[in-house]
Structure 1
Amino acid sequence: MNKKILITGGSGFIGTNLALSLIERGHEITVLDNLSEQIHGENPETSELYNLTKDKVNFIKGDVRNRNDWLKAIKNQQIIVHFAAETGTGQSMYEIEKYTDVNINGTAIFLDILANDKEHGIEKIVIASSRSIYGEGKYQCETHGIVYPTERQEKDMLKSDFSVKCPICDSNAILCATDENSKIHPSSIYGLTKQAQEDMCMIAGKSLKIPVVAFRYQNVYGPGQSLSNPYTGILSIFSTRIKNGNDINIFEDGLESRDFVYIQDVVDATILGIEKESANYNVYNVGSGVRTNVLQVAEALINQYNSDVNYSVSGNFRLGDIRDNYADLTKIKRDLGFDPKVDFKEGIRRFCNWVSSQEIQKDSYNKSIDEMKDKGLLK
């Protein structure tokens, strides 16, 4: 059955791709988005992401911190997909008030509206959570079994010891796939705000008898992601460096890794959550289930672009960054039948082909690095 679906942050990377796929499936889409300069550039009206859906959705330019914008957006909707958020892990450590205001207060406003307006027609909420809520994630200690390490210590990393330690005996721990039952203990303000969003929606949804589905997305990438945002998206940041002929500085020892999941796989998983009742009141990891380290990322991009830029492994590190993480997909495969289709090799090829068709963006990476150094967050 076709639904009226509101996507907040629907002009962003995931939101735009989701909107286009939902429209193809016959759903009617409304987008609430503030067209942030950090994502859409200095002239948002010319943003490729914005223009992809401009004439296909009911677009409302507004801010999730504004109650009136929410009231306008929620009217006559049946499903809310809440993507609107500030998303930079490093940036969150010094723009604390902004991240808290947008991510937590923005979520609180619409839940408050639903709690106090008995005439609304909302039937389901889908909330974008994040793998960042797991902090360092799930590990195994040879002595103590499954453990959930706390954040790595600055004193160790200053000695180039970037390994994750058992929180009981301080020995090096062995990485495991992180499942949904793993301990929630974020190590960044961004991760904390995503945990709060997820918990608030789940608690309010159960109280109001509105089904909620939370997706803990891993590192999402693909054609269409912002190439001008120096705060988030390592593939975009490295690509913009390469296209500008600038060398790449790789943090730590280059072996830190992430689970990179292709945009269409993320869209497919999200649609399953929207359309399947079996997803209701559940949280799901969305990833590829495979870890890829930063050295592999840099080398793959340089090869795809046939570039002669160099990379160096500097030993720099950011406070709040995790070492490794990859998703255990057992639950989402079992409940929703989700299985990622695009592996990293193919996804990188598609991404790089798209980047090469775009206008080269200004490289603002050094500005973001200077900000973190100034705040004492980059060592």
Structure 2
Amino acid sequence: MSKLVLITGGAGFIGSHLADELLAHGYRVRALDNLAPQVHGPDAKRPDYLHPDVELMVGDVRDPAAVRRALLGVDAVYHFAAVVGVGQSMYEIARYTDVNNMGTAVLLETLIQQPVERLIVASSMSIYGEGLYRGPDGSISAGVERSLAQLKAGDWEVRNADGEVLRPVPTPEDKAPALPSVYALSKYDQERMCLMIGRAYGISSVALRFFNIFGTRQALSNPYTGVLAIFASRFLNGNPPLINEDGYQQRDFVSVYDVARACRLALEVPEAADQVFNIASGNQYTIREVAERMAVALGKPQIRPEITGKYRVGDIRHCVADIGHARRVLGYEPRVSLEEGLVELAEWLEGQSAVDRVAEARAELAMRGLAL
């Protein structure tokens, strides 16, 4: 009989695409998901996009009884259940810590009693904080941060002690974590706990640090989700995307299809055990550029992004990925370009509606002094 795989958070954006990938390669898939209203809306019903062959168990990863039931007969686990959002994590501290940290702890305690062949945990590029930088003299700098005074002055670039602008270079997995938000801290805790307990109890474990994932099925009415979904919500309502700072901050955007394939490889490649991998495209784009490309893909080039010149506590300037380790060990190779992905995303968005809560979320952060 084919192997049974459990995906916690499996009814969500990434989990549902991974389920499709696994089913297409002969696995059986079970999802444990609490269908949180912020992601799935108030109805808490099975998403239409979730493959009919996925066995959905509605339950909370913090509930030991629900986790025990979900693990029955399971050969491998993907732990994706988490609350996501840098800004929101800075004031909903208890909820983020409860779901992300405590949920992982409950899962791991249950896995000690009901072990599996492999555990794969979703980590995040957010744990790096600022990425690696190169100075004018060619030296590499890590752990450089911008001061609050600098940000209030609208000086957005990362600089060395002499005030010289540093340029981003691809960040590998061995860069020391910086953890600029409660969300980043919780994701680092998730990956460290899984690898630590995995080693202690002989459960082969892998951590995947996802960069900026885009694609169909993102929660468009969630103002704390991925940046492209937030932009989509604005475009669908005829509003310009709001971009912090000057819009020239750089990120790596990766298709959810490439991410799903990387996740499957992390299950199937024996050498991946006890390792951490960046999962990204290996390309970098400015936020301004991505917003403009998205406007064109949606047939709304007249909607220009609004550059706010503002800053959000916990945000970073640049972080782009070095994916050499995933290439060498997993055999991972990104296949979907940003251009191709935006075309498919635009087609999917034609049939979608979204409540634009971006202004509401920004006001919430500003009220708490978390947005300048």
TM-score, normalised on structure 2?
Answer: 0.96
Structure 1 residues 169 and 78, CA gap change in structure 2 (3 angstroms): farther
Match of residue 216, structure 2, among 202, 217, 223: 223
SS in 1 for 2:259: helix
3-state DSSP class of the match of 1:45? coil
CA deviation after TM superposition for structure 1 residue 3, in Å:
1.2
Equivalences for 1:193-208 in 2 at 5 Å? 193-208=186-201
Tell me the equivalent position of 1:342: 336
The amino acid of 1:255's aligned partner reads: Y
Following TM superposition, by how much is the alpha carbon of 1:249 offset from its aligned partner in structure 2, in angstroms?
2.2
Instruction: Report if aligned partners of 2:219, 2:225 keep a CA contact under 8 Å in 1.
Output: no
User: What number of residue pairs does the alignment pair up?
Assistant: 371
Q: How does 1:168-247 map to 2 (within 5 A)?
A: 169=162, 171-247=164-240
Cross-structure match for 1:252: 245
The answer to whether the 8 A contact 1:219-1:261 is kept is yes
Aligned with 1:122 (options 100, 108, 116): 116
Indicate the SS of the match to 2:319.
Answer: coil
Q: Give the equivalent residue in structure 1 for 2:321.
A: 327
CA shift, 1:144, in A, is 8.2
Name the structure 2 match of 1:284: 277
Q: Output one character per residue of 1:11-47: Cα deviation in whole Å (capped at 9) or x when no partner.
A: 0101001011111211111110000111111223263
SS of residue paired to 2:45: helix
Distance in 1 of aligned mates of 2:308 and 2:362:
13
Alignment partner, residue 41 of structure 1: 41
Q: Is the 8 A contact 1:39 1:226 kept in 2?
A: yes
Deviation, structure 1 residue 83: 0.2
**TM-superposed deviation, 1:225:** 1.4
Residue in structure 2 matched with residue 299 of structure 1 by the alignment: 292
Deviation at 1:114, TM superposition (A): 2.6
Q: 2: CA distance between counterparts of 1:310 and 1:330?
A: 35
**Structure 1 residue 281 displacement after superposition:** 0.9
- For residues 94 and 254 of structure 2, the distance between their equivalents in structure 1, rounded to whole angstroms, comes to 30
- For the 8 Å contact 2:245–2:309, the answer to whether it is kept is yes
Match of 1:27 in 2: 27
**Bigger Cα displacement from structure 2, 310-319 vs 322-331:** 310-319
Offset of 1:229 from its aligned partner?
A: 1.0
Matched, 1:104 2:98: no
After the TM superposition, which of the residue ranges 255-264 and 136-145 deviates more from structure 2?
136-145
Residue type at the aligned position of 1:181: D
Corresponding residue for 2:267? 274
User: Residue 361 of structure 2 corresponds to which residue in structure 1?
Assistant: 368
Which residue in the other structure is 1:355 paired with?
349
Deviation, structure 1 residue 323: 0.9
Amino acid paired to 1:310: R
Distance 1:301 1:44 in 2: 30
- For 2:154 and 2:216, the matched residues in 1 are separated by 35
Counting aligned pairs with the same residue, the percent is: 38
User: 1:178 is paired with a residue of what secondary structure?
Assistant: coil
Alpha-carbon separation, structure 2, partners of 1:368 and 1:200: 31
Quick one: structure 1 residues 105 and 144, their matched pair in 2 at CA, closer, same or farther if it must change by over 3 Å? Answer: farther
CA separation in 2, counterparts of 1:262 and 1:296? 17
RMSD of aligned Cα (Å): 1.5
For 2:78 and 2:162, the matched residues in 1 are separated by: 42
> Structure 1 residue 151: deviation in Å?
3.5
1:64-92 Cα deviation digits (max 9, x unpaired): 11111111111211111000001101111
What SS is found at the alignment partner of 1:44?
A: coil
Deviation at 1:278, TM superposition (A): 1.4
Q: Is the 8 A contact 2:292 2:304 kept in 1?
A: no
CA distance in 2, matches of 1:344, 1:109: 37
For 1:46 and 1:211, locate their aligned partners in 2 and report how far apart those are by CA, in whole Å.
31
Q: Partners of 1:171 and 1:71 in 2: how far apart? A: 55
Matched position secondary structure for 1:29: strand
Task: Compute the displacement of 1:213 (Å).
Answer: 0.8
- TM-score normalised over the length of structure 1: 0.94
Which piece of structure 1 moves more, 303-312 or 337-346? 303-312
One-letter code aligned to 2:275:
N
The unaligned stretches of length 5 or more in structure 1 are none
Distance 1:46 1:111, change over 3 A: closer
